[in-house]
Structure 1
């Protein structure tokens, strides 16, 4: 048996962008000697694809840890019994809103949902101040957004149902459809639609704006429309231990590492500029508010919002 086969290993299903996650895994490997094998999926539906894989594997999971770029699919997995209760050693400083009451997941490192636009062609004062206003014809007609059945856009739309009520949220989606909003594969595709002139603005995550700027699109800008509680929608990453994973002890060590304050600092200092869930690690420029309805209510709204998205937007 070769050295590589003898080395302790942990398998992680990961939908956090590889440019962010791989340096973290490398640091964990150096610190512990445990090899990290990361499994990802395609950009448009990578979180959803990995969640479906965990469900399909059932009582014989192939992975030990889920490191997800969003929260709500993780919450659904927890309710299905796919995640193991585990309070990581390095959870100190994380507010209770970001820790599952049964310790099945821990949330870290927030991203804002933003409205991105090309500042060379559009002035910020032309844009709506709230997400609900975006349904008006003058804005919806020039909007690009990712398929709302996947990723952070899925959670964002579910938050509208939870916060605004089903009737208002359904009417909002009908308005987007009626006024010609463009639906594309993923957040990065929505940004590309703005950059190539097919759309004037797009719904996306703030790290997609930073990524485009790094690629030379320095005129791409963003605003943070109000969800109705004085802030935009902020979506954290989540870390969870998969029930009955093949390398449970190594999985626990990786979960504890990924929720640590040091990893939150690293993610905040990365090109993606995540905002820590730990208030003491923030630089004061952005101080995200948790949605008043609570994350559990948003997760509970997912089946309703998914159904309306299929009926109204994707027919």
Structure 2
């Protein structure tokens, strides 16, 4: 069971003071957070791509590369790369470069993206939303598989037997498929034999178990060895020394961020009742002391079959020292509890 952190490098106004930190400051803070995550034994750190004022990570590979030379073992991933509006050649080159700097720790998490700002920014038509992703994923996988590439599609210039460099340290640069739970994307990941990441940020995580089963069935149907594939979960959460403190520190920024997105997307208001329901035993919010969060992650593994867990923290803007302490608790206290119980549970079920 792998445990890690994901972030969107947010620079929203502070929920208490209204102050807005610079993009540069938040980027530097995230590099420090990645270094600490490595030091406390976490397995992976993911940085999500966005192209709007309140998110500072338009280029996850650059941020991850800044941390790569200061870390030793943690895997470094996008979360996600908005592949539909990107050039797969450049994406591969960026992450192959990151792979070289980190000596084989880079990963790509490819997705359509739930935010659409990148499409007009890079000149793509939203009417081609699905076709763009399918076509560009096809090109990315061809580049990954072969140094010399010949390829032709509808939304990018053809490539005729050209080399793509640098090549990564890893023989096959990992490419994960990020999904919000869409059945079609889950089946596609399975048919392609690619590891899957589910964004479970609402409802009851146990309800995602049929999707995980469907993913493995699709993989087996396509002739892939399902036992070699992984399913990850990306969920909001925060850890403090006590559950009461975690709630007190995490709720204000979460409420502010969710209500801002809610206005953009037509959601209802995010209230304290919404928050408390989500952090219940059956909910998708992982907030509390180390034992509470560990228990919920263990249940997620047992009920859904998740093999990698990304705690998305912070949501919105929180004091850097609180975020750093939460990462320390995740690595030093939560992860060992989860790994030990999952190992014991798996051994008893063999």
TM band (smaller chain): under 0.3
Higher relative contact order (CA 8 A, sep 6+): 1
Structure number with higher helix proportion: 2
- TM-score where L is the length of structure 2: 0.26
- TM-score where L is the length of structure 1: 0.28
